[in-house]
Amino acid sequence: MDSVSLLLSLPAELEVWLILGYVAVVLAGARLSEVLARVHFARARRYAERGFEYDADADHYRCPQGERLALHLVEPESRLAVYRAPASSCNGCPLKGTCTPHDEGRHLYRPLAAWAETDLGRFHRRLSLLMVGVGVVFSLGGMARWVGQPGTGLLLLALAVSLACVARDLRGAWAGPEPEINQAE
């Protein structure tokens, strides 16, 4: 059998199919994990700000009752901006019971970091990179064991896709902040 035929032929052994399936599941799981975490993060942010309008020009929020939440402080290490309404306004508000549980006034936290710069973003990027690394290891192991046998081309493809995912994750980790994507509620 010539080398082109080997590259284009389907695997004959069950173990090769299992490795290919495992690599596909791991790569899909890595991507799905990161996407779901990003969606959850955006949803949690929208939920926390529900009913409040942010005025970027004046750098403040306005609550559903019209009260202004002014910038209270910026936490540089966690890259958060904290906005607070006056306690006197919140304590007399008819929506207080559903808006804020404490007597210091409503607080809103606006992240100043892009998703990839947050602790959660870095955790999921590393988790994704670890999962993709497992795909690389399994692809390399399959190549080392079954090189020159039917299915070599698919193992080579699995290795190439795994390495491309590693490169994408590493490029994303070192590229700096990602642009914010504004999603309508």
The predicted-structure confidence for 102-158, as pLDDT tens digits, reads as follows 888 899 988 888 777 777 888 888 888 899 999 999 999 998 988 888 888 898 899
37 and 126 fall within a common domain: yes
Last residue of a domain, one of 67, 97, 113: 113
Number of domains in the chain: 2
167/81 same-domain check:
no
- Is 94 part of a structural domain of the chain? yes
**What percent of the chain stands above pLDDT 70?**
89
Give me the domain span that covers residue 24: 3-41+118-174
Report if residue 182 sits inside a domain.
no
pLDDT at 2: 67
184 lies in some domain: no
- Cβ atoms of residues 145 and 18 within 8 Å: no
Pick the residue with more confidence: 180 or 106?
A: 106
User: Rounded CA gap, 48 and 31, in Å?
Assistant: 26
> Is residue 108 domain-shared with residue 55, that is, in the same domain?
yes
Residues 125 and 109 in one domain: no
